Amino acid sequence: MFWWPAEAEWADRLASEPGTGHLNPLNPKTYQVFTNVIHDVAALFPEPFYHSGADEIIPGCWKADPTIQTFLSNGGTLSQLLEIFINSTFPYIVSLNRTVVYWEDVLLDANVKVDPSMLPPENTILQTWNNGPNNTKKVVASGYRAIVSSSDFYYLDCGHGDFLGNDSQYDQKAGNKTENGGSWCGPFKTWQTIYNYDITYGLSDEEAKLVLGGEVALWSEQADPTVLDARIWPRASAMAEALWSGNQDKTGMKRYADATDRLNEWRYRMVARGIGAEPIQPLWCIRNPGMCNTVHPFV
């Protein structure tokens, strides 16, 4: 089905992008397929985690199904549908000695979410992506461990426009421009933006201990192997240094000037290995270390 029918409001869309289709929690075959997939994946990978998704459930898709229509007309709710799915899959994943990772939506979505009692923190990790440090705070304040993938800082696909063939936001008057790069999560996340983000911002010391780390994301709507290297590198390297070594010196000052020199050198090492990493400065700057810095703060 077409993902956003012309007669439908955005809230009634069938998907947030093409193509459409959700798993049906009321269909027994869903669990036959799902448990087979979980079993196969768990057998392939020895890591003690299994990511079970559960982000961005679009109610319009479920509401289009006759069996779910009947369920809802009999007093059932969309959140109960998700609870049926979680109840039918979470225990099986745990039985395979896996900790279950979900996107934050499973608890924080405004419309479709489960009761926290269904997801014991000892068996659950939540991956945050929306609303910056605020959602990370909500997750850890509830006692859950967190993986931070904030779309405001760690989404590498942002700022490259949109993939819709008839995107009206590009129909601008002369002299105007789309400030966010035309993508919902724009603008482009520079390596400096990534490097300077503190994934424990606003957390107490005890809450910060529940943040396991971070993960950059490159979603594939407008990325394929031809641009893969440049989209990932060296921005992912900036995130790696910030998380492994910190982004501040012993006095608490951000060290992005020093990081620029290190990242330049590392970028050229990657290029020498055949990795098409994106340049972060003109060649003159690399040949004259420190001469492209400034002693004047901008903010």
Question: Rounded to an integer, what is the distance from CA 102 to the centroid of its chain?
Answer: 11
Q: Cα–Cα–Cα angle for 211, 241, 221, nearest 5°? A: 75
Q: Are 86 and 118 in contact (CB under 8 A)?
A: yes
> What whole-number distance in Å separates Cα of residue 8 and Cα of residue 113?
23
Dihedral sign, CA of 265, 270, 271, 273?
positive
Burial 199-230 (b: 16+ CB within 10 A, else e): bbeebeeebbebbeebebebeeeebeeeeebe
Candidates 9, 17, 47, 56; catalytic one: 56
Closest Cα partner for 192 from 219, 153, 152, 230? 153
56 noted as active-site residue: yes
Q: Are 141 and 208 in contact (CB under 8 A)?
A: no
Q: What are phi and psi of 213, to 5 degrees?
A: 160, -165
Please identify every residue annotated as catalytic.
56
